[in-house]
């Protein structure tokens, strides 16, 4: 991985490193040449790592006090909130942490979309990222079931029932998932087990994600390949470490505000009512971060096709490196793509909004148009744009514009893009 050989200074260090090159790894991580023009959108990778660790640590403590049993789960959560020392803090960090995690991952994904970070040679990083995102959604859904409130129970019922859309074996699969003929205690215990497992799978994939990143190195706002190491790059430590740290602290302020001042605003009130199989809530809605996909699901009148549309909406992202035919990575040099990018952002936000609303009347119509546009963007607009679009001239290196006389054109360009 590293461009230069590393030899530890101490004799013991050398002895150890010859047997297990941990010190070489540490050296690689600190020296790792990073493009110096990375903007703050690039800090969300570090923020996401923080989110994952926070979820694992708080989750570990919660699991010590939580009881995965249909008759006791709700009570045990209240026990955590009332009687466990700082249990309320740990639970609110965990519950809001999930939302913060998704907020960060959406910014991370949309940064990738803007700067074309999924393009060659970074396809594998991107695909691992999509798998992580899928696992995150699974973990979030499973975790939402655990408090065993009304939304937990009915959310679990709705989502597991989606599998019944599969022809022939659907019903059988649903019974197998439930461990019975309805969502009940066996469902809760297995959901708890899986909810505990998935974060560690994510952790493993995050290691692969970073490993795959360190082979070609970071993309950058200009989207051109940089020579490493060169005057275009800075060592990861201390430059990127302090910058990521600064951004992380900003993020933590927002996080803390939610935890301490509006800890329940992102959840649904019905989840403070204990699960009751005999009473269906008026509106069953998922957590905000799943709403765009929920809107896509509901916008298709046929159940099976709805499920297919929802899954395709996520899986289509994995094909993105091949659907986007443009050789230019950064949207900064793609005037048309830049406009379509912001339309896509608006489209996804609209899908999220209608996903929270009842599926009827104008909301349903808007959801259908937005769903159609979502697929149109990836399947038609992106491939065609790659062939038709007239791109702006790209600089040869990050530092080149400076030599050309203009003060850091790359940053200027990048600012311009944020203004649009």
Partner 1 sequence: MKKFFRIFSLVILFSGFLLNIQAAEKIEYLKTDWSFKGLFGKFDRAALQRGYQVYTEVCSSCHSMKYLSYRNLAEKGGPEFSIDQAKAIAASFEVKDGPNADGDMFTRPGRLSDKFVMPYDNVQAAQAANGGAYPPDMSVLVKARGGGVDYIYSLLQGYEDPPAGITLDDGVYYNKYMYGNKIKMANQLSDGLVEYSDGTIATVEQMSKDVTTFLMWSAEPHLESRHQMGFKAIVYLIILTILVYFSMKRIWSRIETEV
For residue 353, state whether it binds partner 1 (rule: CB under 8 A).
yes
Stretch of residues binding partner 1 (CB under 8 A), selected from 11-19, 258-266, 302-310, 369-377: 258-266
d(CA 137, CA 213): 23
Q: Of the candidates 171, 406, 418, 420, which one interacts with partner 1 according to CB under 8 A?
A: 418
Counting residues that bind partner 1 (by CB under 8 A) gives 54
Cβ atoms of residues 160 and 177 within 8 Å:
yes
Cβ atoms of residues 99 and 268 within 8 Å:
no
Pick 89 or 308: Cβ nearer partner 1: 89
Q: Coil, strand or helix: which one is 235?
A: strand
Which helix (DSSP H) or strand (DSSP E) does residue 247 occupy? helix 241-261
DSSP string, 19-33: HSTHHHHHHHHHH-E
d(CA 417, CA 420): 5
For residue 278, state whether it binds partner 1 (rule: CB under 8 A).
no
Q: Of the candidates 253, 360, 393, 405, which one interacts with partner 1 according to CB under 8 A?
A: 253
d(CA 332, CA 191): 44
Pick 23 or 234: Cβ nearer partner 1: 234
DSSP string, 277-295: TT---SS----GGGHHHHH
Pick 196 or 272: Cβ nearer partner 1: 272
For residue 238, state whether it binds partner 1 (rule: CB under 8 A).
yes
For residue 415, state whether it binds partner 1 (rule: CB under 8 A).
yes
For residue 205, state whether it binds partner 1 (rule: CB under 8 A).
no
Stretch of residues binding partner 1 (CB under 8 A), selected from 12-20, 39-47, 51-59, 61-69: 39-47
Give the nearest distance from C-beta 254 to partner 1 in angstroms. Answer: 6
Give the nearest distance from C-beta 20 to partner 1 in angstroms. Answer: 31
Give the nearest distance from C-beta 195 to partner 1 in angstroms. Answer: 22
**Bridge partner list, 274:** 149
d(CA 381, CA 58): 43
DSSP 8-class letter at 274: B
Give the nearest distance from C-beta 414 to partner 1 in angstroms. Answer: 8
Token readout for 381 is 């607009």
DSSP string, 145-193: HTT-BHHHHHHHHHHHHGGGGSTTTHHHHHHHHHTSSSS-HHHHHHHHH
d(CA 322, CA 20): 39
Q: Of the candidates 32, 34, 118, 270, which one interacts with partner 1 according to CB under 8 A?
A: 270
Give the nearest distance from C-beta 255 to partner 1 in angstroms. Answer: 9
**Bridge partner list, 233:** 35
Pick 7 or 264: Cβ nearer partner 1: 264
Close Cβ partners of 416 (under 8 Å, ≥ 6 residues apart): 332
Pick 301 or 407: Cβ nearer partner 1: 407
Q: Which of residues 140-199 bind partner 1 (CB under 8 A)?
A: none
| Closest C-alpha to 147, from 193, 93, 78 | 78
Give the nearest distance from C-beta 78 to partner 1 in angstroms. Answer: 5
Give the nearest distance from C-beta 394 to partner 1 in angstroms. Answer: 19
Q: Of the candidates 12, 181, 261, 387, which one interacts with partner 1 according to CB under 8 A?
A: 261
How do 233-235 and 33-35 pair as beta strands? antiparallel
x/- site string to partner 1, residues 89 to 128, per CB under 8 A?
x--x----------x-------------------------
Q: Which of residues 354-413 bind partner 1 (CB under 8 A)?
A: 356-357, 402, 408, 411
Q: Of the candidates 179, 229, 263, 383, which one interacts with partner 1 according to CB under 8 A?
A: 263
CA 9 vs CA 6, 29, 50: distances in Å: 9, 17, 31
Q: What are phi and psi of 8, to 5 degrees?
A: -65, 150
Token readout for 260 is 């301490």
Residues near partner 1 (CB under 8 A) are 36-37, 39-41, 75, 78, 81-82, 88-89, 92, 103, 234, 238-239, 242-243, 245-247, 249-254, 256-261, 263-266, 269-270, 272-273, 282, 288, 291, 349, 352-353, 356-357, 402, 408, 411, 415, 418
């Amino acid at each position: 991985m590293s461009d230069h050989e590393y030899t530890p200074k101490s004799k013991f260090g050398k002895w150890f490193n010859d047997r297990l090159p941990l010190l070489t790894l540490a050296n690689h991580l600190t020296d790792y040449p990073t493009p110096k023009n990375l903007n703050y959108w690039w800090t969300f990778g570090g923020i996401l790592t923080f989110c994952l660790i926070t979820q694992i640590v708080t989750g570990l403590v919660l699991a010590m006090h939580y009881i995965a049993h249909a008759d006791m789960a709700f009570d045990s959560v209240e026990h955590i909130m009332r009687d466990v020392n700082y249990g309320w803090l740990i639970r609110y960090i965990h519950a809001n942490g999930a939302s913060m995690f998704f907020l960060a991952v959406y910014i991370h994904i949309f940064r990738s979309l803007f700067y074309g970070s999924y393009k060659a040679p970074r396809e594998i990083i991107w695909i691992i990222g999509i798998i992580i995102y899928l696992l995150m959604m699974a973990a979030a859904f499973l975790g939402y079931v655990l408090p065993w409130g009304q939304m937990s129970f009915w959310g679990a019922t709705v989502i597991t029932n989606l599998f019944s859309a599969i022809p022939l074996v659907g019903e059988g699969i649903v019974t197998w998932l439930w461990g019975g003929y309805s969502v009940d205690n066996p469902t809760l215990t297995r959901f708890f087990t899986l909810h505990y497992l998935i974060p560690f799978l994510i952790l493993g994939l995050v290691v692969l994600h970073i490993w795959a990143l360190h082979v070609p190195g970071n993309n950058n706002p200009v989207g051109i390949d940089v020579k490493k190491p060169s005057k275009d790059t800075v060592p990861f430590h201390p430059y990127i470490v302090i910058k990521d740290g600064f951004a992380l602290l900003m993020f933590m302020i927002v996080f803390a505000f939610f935890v301490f001042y509006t800890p329940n605003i992102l959840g649904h009130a019905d989840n403070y009512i204990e699960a009751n199989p005999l009473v269906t809530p008026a509106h069953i809605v998922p957590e905000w971060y799943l709403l765009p996909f929920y809107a896509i699901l509901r916008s298709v009148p046929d159940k099976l096709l709805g499920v297919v549309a929802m899954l395709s909406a996520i899986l289509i992202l994995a094909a993105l490196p091949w659907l986007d035919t443009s050789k230019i990575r950064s949207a900064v040099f793609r005037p048309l793509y830049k406009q379509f990018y912001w339309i896509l952002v608006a489209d996804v936000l609209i899908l999220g909004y209608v996903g929270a609303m009842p599926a009827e009347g104008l909301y349903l119509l808007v959801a259908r148009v937005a769903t159609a546009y979502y697929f149109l963007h990836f399947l038609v607009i992106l491939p065609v744009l790659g062939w038709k679009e007239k791109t702006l001239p790209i600089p040869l290196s990050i530092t080149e514009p400076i030599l050309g006389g203009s003060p850091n054109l790359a940053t200027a360009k990048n600012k311009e893009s944020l203004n649009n």
